[in-house]
Chains A and B, each alone.
Chain A
Amino acid sequence: MERLLAFGDAGWGDEILSGTLLTLQLAAVTLPVGMVLGFLSAFLSLSDSRLLRALGWGYSTAMRGMPELLTLFIVYYGGGLLLNAGLNRISAGASFEISPFLAGVVALGLVFGAYAGEVLRGAFQSLSPGQAEAGLAIGMTRRQIFWRIRLPQLWRFALPGLGNLWVNLLKDTSLVSVITLGELMRMSQVAVRTTKEPFFFFLVACAIYWVMCVLSEVILARMEMRANRGIIRARA
């Protein structure tokens, strides 16, 4: 078994490692994209305009009701179609394919954004209105109230939900292997094809994902404790 995981030409250690790094990279790049989409979606669904609210509802319902794998396929194939249609207007015959990595970032970002929108909306709604009113009373602008009062506290309410979404995102990166991105799952499949040791390599992949998820949970628990440090003291 050690031989299978050796680095260099003989073993698959370096391939698995590079796959793991790509998995982490994909998740790390998707996170900010998903957060931006999440805030957008939360603002849409909290907006005063009925049209914007409907838009937010449509986005979040569609993304949360469809398999992530299907979203990925639609983005990967549909994105290419759309781009090529656009390019053909500019110069006929131009062809372009979006990379599996980009498709992964967009699709997983869209999914993350839809769920994050719900988490953030809930968090905004659990902020006590009295504080924003107090801000108004001392003459803060709406923008100042958002940046100085609502956003800092939002973190505390949103963190547990966002933490769960991060773990889901880490796991969902495995889907991008289906459109041939060489991340951890794909690299394990490549190793299996040559060595005919499926049980071993998929077990290794599971173990690596597990370590990443458990580590994330430990770090998230610390972050939650830090976010709630003022509250815990007050209650004790």
Chain B
Amino acid sequence: MNPMEILAAHGPRFLHGMGMTLLITGLGAMIAGLFAPWLALWRAQGGIVAQSALRPYISMMRGTPLLAQLFLIYYGSGQFRPELQAIGLWWFFREPLNCAILTFALNSTAYQTEILRGGIMGVPRGEIEASRAIGMSRGTLLRRVVFPHAYRIAWPALGNEIILLMKASALASVVTVYDVMGVARQVYQKTFDFSALLWAAVIYLLITATFVTLWRQSERWLSPHVLAMEKRGRR
């Protein structure tokens, strides 16, 4: 067993796997990030109809294993091949990569919605009342007051969710996507060299550490008033 030999022989493959992991995580998180704010707004302020549509979705996404969701979408869609072909969607579901990204996006949307709902509900009432009092329209209110503050509250939790999603993306390897985990399994099966798994661990830890550092930095950018205060010296 020589970890360096494994790295020399399979390094490019691992690098490729890392790109794949970042791609599925990034796409999944971003697609979810596009939908989550509107669903969160719905969840925080919507009526009974909105609630009764959203709550079962969120509860199901959070109450079932991601692996089961992935199998349901990937293998389950195979059962409806003729129907999917008829409406011209089969090319999408045929690819395990697409199914994985779709599953992760659906799953992360549920989590991000709940996180952002917490953020929206954490915006002090007074801020909203003050904006109304100076005659802001609903759109301006959301854009200038509610969402900026809600995101600032939700930011750390959103970062955690993205890390969880990154870790969960290793499940894609089960449906033959060659992300870091998939490459590690492939190399291990070929060489029976345990260090393949350890290299995967190193890569995942590197990704997590880098992400945590970047996210902390972005948290400071999101709160320029705190930064400005720090620059002026402690008060």
Contacts of B181 in A (CB 8 A): 67, 69-70
Question: Given that A199-B79, A202-B71 are contacting pairs, would A66 and B66 also be in contact in the complex, using a CB cutoff of 8 Å?
Answer: no
B15: min CB distance to chain A, Å: 17
Is A65 touching B205 in the complex (CB atoms < 8 A)?
yes
The segment from B41-49, B120-128, B193-201, B221-229 found at the interface with A is: B193-201
Q: In the complex, which range does the number of interface residues on chain B fall in?
A: 35 or more
Evaluate whether A199 and B80 lie within 8 angstroms (CB atoms) in the complex, with A66-B167, A78-B194 already known: yes
In the complex, B64 has a CB within 8 A of chain A: yes
Range class of the A interface residue count: 35 or more
Q: Are B197 and A214 in contact (CB under 8 A)?
A: no
In chain B, positions 180-219 with a C-beta closer than 8 Å to chain A are 181, 184-185, 188, 194, 197-198, 200-201, 204-205, 208-209
Q: Is A39 an interface residue (CB 8 A)?
A: no
Q: Which residues in window 119-174 of A have CB below 8 A to B?
A: 167, 171-174
DSSP majority for the A interface? helix
Is A102 among interface residues, defined by CB-CB distance under 8 A? Answer: no
A54 contacts partner chain B, Cβ-Cβ < 8 Å: no
On chain A, the residues within 8 Å of B197 by CB distance are 70, 73-74, 77-78
Mark interface residues in B155-195 (1 if CB within 8 Å of A CB, else 0): 00000000100011111011000000100110010000010
The answer on a CB contact under 8 Å between A213 and B64 is: yes
A61 to B167, CA, bound (A): 13
Chain B residue numbers with a CB within 8 Å of A213 are 62-64
Shortest CB–CB separation between residue A208 and chain B, in angstroms? 9
A86 and B200 alpha carbons, distance in the complex (Å): 25
A31 at interface by CB-CB < 8 Å: no
Main secondary structure of the interface of B (DSSP, over half): helix
Does B69 sit at the interface, judged by CB under 8 A?
yes
In the complex the two chains form, what is the Cα distance from A155 to B59 in whole Å?
Answer: 26
Of chain A, the residue at the smallest CB distance from B70 is: A202
Contacting pair B72 A199 (CB below 8 A) = yes
Do B204 and A177 have beta carbons less than 8 Å apart?
A: no
A81 touches B (CB below 8 Å)? yes
| A28 CB within 8 Å of chain B | no
Contact A167 B201 (CB under 8 A): no
Cβ distance A161 to chain B, nearest Cβ, rounded Å:
13
**Interchain CB contact under 8 A, B205 and A66:** yes
CA distance A70 to B67 in the complex (A): 14
- CB proximity of B33 to chain A, nearest CB, Å: 21
B75 within 8 A of partner (CB):
yes
Does chain B have a CB within 8 A of A203?
Answer: yes
Of the candidates B65, B71, B185, B194, the one having the most CB atoms from chain A within 10 angstroms of its own CB is: B65
B64 touches A67 (CB 8 A): no
Q: How far is the CA of A69 from the CA of B188 in the complex (A)?
A: 14
Considering the complex of A and B, which 10 residue pairs feature the smallest CB-CB distances, nearest first?
Answer: A67-B170, A65-B208, A213-B63, A199-B76, A198-B75, A174-B65, A171-B65, A202-B72, A67-B167, A206-B64
7 A–B contacts, CB within 8 A, in A order: A69-B181, A78-B197, A185-B67, A203-B76, A206-B69, A210-B60, A213-B63
Give me 16 other A-B pairs in contact (C-beta within 8 A), A73-B197, A202-B76, A217-B63 excluded.
A65-B209, A66-B204, A66-B205, A67-B169, A69-B170, A69-B171, A70-B181, A73-B188, A74-B201, A77-B197, A173-B65, A185-B71, A198-B78, A202-B71, A206-B64, A209-B63
